[in-house]
Structure 1
Amino acid sequence: MASSVTQWVTSCSNIVLSVTALCSSYTLFKDHRAPSVGLFLLGLSAAACVLQPSSSKLIVLQREAEWAGELLAPALVSFDFLWLSQDHNSAHVLLCGSCLLLGLCNWLSADAFSVMTCCLGLSSLSCCLMVCLFAGNALGALGGVALSLPLLVTPQVGTNTLALLMSPAASEGLMKWVLKGALSIGCWASTRALGKFLLDVTDQCNISIE
């Protein structure tokens, strides 16, 4: 009974995250392509987690897709904040670092995998906070913290990569539901924050032209 309740709540949290992320992706697509892609991948991975595959290979692919979505979503949101603030060099470094980690994740040791994931999560968060705090965009700061939280909480040093991606502590229980809820809040807050930030940047450009 407890197992079925846990499975039901986990599925509901994934459904809520998937709907929120996909709706946010659709809203952002016109003016913010990079975060739109990141949230779209996050929504797809959450939708995939609703399924209950019987094959161990499919379970591994499911966990890897979930990790990739949680990795790219905050990085691409921070990329857009940096790009709109004209810090193109930092935006490119963050984007290249994210893609590099995705490509090398299967070649890294367990400790290196955990450290690099945490470092990228901290980099995404610090870039987002730096821009949002200077711009006075509280929603952006909230969204950055909420989207980066799974990367900072889930990784565990000292396990092999496969075990890390399939860790019960990272995939079941109250902490998992809290992290899914945080991601949903992050999607909503980031969508609102990016819209506001774009308006602020546009207004500043209009003022400078006048």
Structure 2
Amino acid sequence: MVSKPRSEWSTILSHLVLAGVSLHAAVSSVQCSRGAAAGFLLQTVAAITMLAPGLSSQEDCLAGAWVATVIGLPLLAFDFHWVNGDHSSANLLLGGGMVLAVAGDHLGPEGCSVAGQAVLLVVAVTILIVAVFTANTYGMWGGAMLGVAGLLSRLEEDRLLLLLPREDVCRWALTAGSWAYCRALRTQRLQWE
């Protein structure tokens, strides 16, 4: 049996953990927030398709990751804003994500990368702002970790912590942010009930 390099194992593990955490978050949030559950489910599907080499082409996998970023992440933030009465920000985030999803073919690879990073950072900052004003600790951590994932994706370095690929470290931060955000949604719902 040929052993796989450490970076390949790291990539597989980061995809699996992101898919598992996102699936758990989707199942646990479906009763209180269908929009957030759909966003978590999009993250799950994107992470799984990146692991299945025979399932689809690399271009299809990247398209799935694009949709999970520009539609899935705004869906996550939508409920957080909506429950707090900020309906205009919720609709603006979701509408902007839908427009970007449609316009993705016209942006090119560099434009899609910049737009995806911008969506990640905007969602992170808006979640962080709402969490600070509502004193939701999990929301603060979730927003901070999503922001870390967005900032790390902007780095030029190919390898980061312990010589892991930058994309894997971003996925680990996204996983931590998704877990914290799922807890934040539950905390927020308990506060409003």
TM-score under structure 1 normalisation?
0.79
Structure 1 pair 8–116 and aligned structure 2 pair: CA distance change class (3 A): closer
Tell me which structure has the larger Cα radius of gyration. 1
How many angstroms does 1:173 deviate by?
Answer: 4.0
How many angstroms does 1:74 deviate by?
Answer: 2.9
Unaligned runs of 5+ in 1: 158-167, 203-210
Among 156, 172, 190, the residue aligned to 2:181:
190
How many angstroms does 1:185 deviate by?
Answer: 1.1
Q: Would you say 1:174 and 2:173 are equivalent positions? A: no
Q: Secondary structure at the match of 2:5?
A: helix
Matches within 5 A, 1:73-88: 73-88=72-87
How many angstroms does 1:70 deviate by?
Answer: 3.3
Q: Residue in 1 aligned with 2:61?
A: 62
Q: How many residues align?
A: 189
Q: Secondary structure at the match of 1:39?
A: helix
Structure 1 pair 18–110 and aligned structure 2 pair: CA distance change class (3 A): closer
Unaligned runs of 5+ in 2: none
How many angstroms does 1:169 deviate by?
Answer: 4.3
Q: CA RMSD in A?
A: 2.7
Q: Please tell me whether the aligned partners of residues 53 and 59 of structure 1 are also in contact (alpha carbons under 8 angstroms).
A: no
The code of the aligned residue for 2:45 comes to L
How many angstroms does 1:200 deviate by?
Answer: 1.1
Separation of aligned partners in 2, 1:83 and 1:71: 18
Separation of aligned partners in 2, 1:169 and 1:53: 26
Q: What is the aligned-residue identity percentage?
A: 25
Q: Would you say 1:201 and 2:192 are equivalent positions? A: yes
TM-score under structure 2 normalisation?
0.85
How many angstroms does 1:6 deviate by?
Answer: 2.1
Higher relative contact order (CA 8 A, sep 6+): 1
Separation of aligned partners in 2, 1:65 and 1:128: 23
Matches within 5 A, 1:86-105: 86-105=85-104
Structure 1 pair 101–153 and aligned structure 2 pair: CA distance change class (3 A): farther
Matches within 5 A, 1:46-57: 46-53=47-54
How many angstroms does 1:12 deviate by?
Answer: 1.4
Q: Would you say 1:23 and 2:20 are equivalent positions? A: no
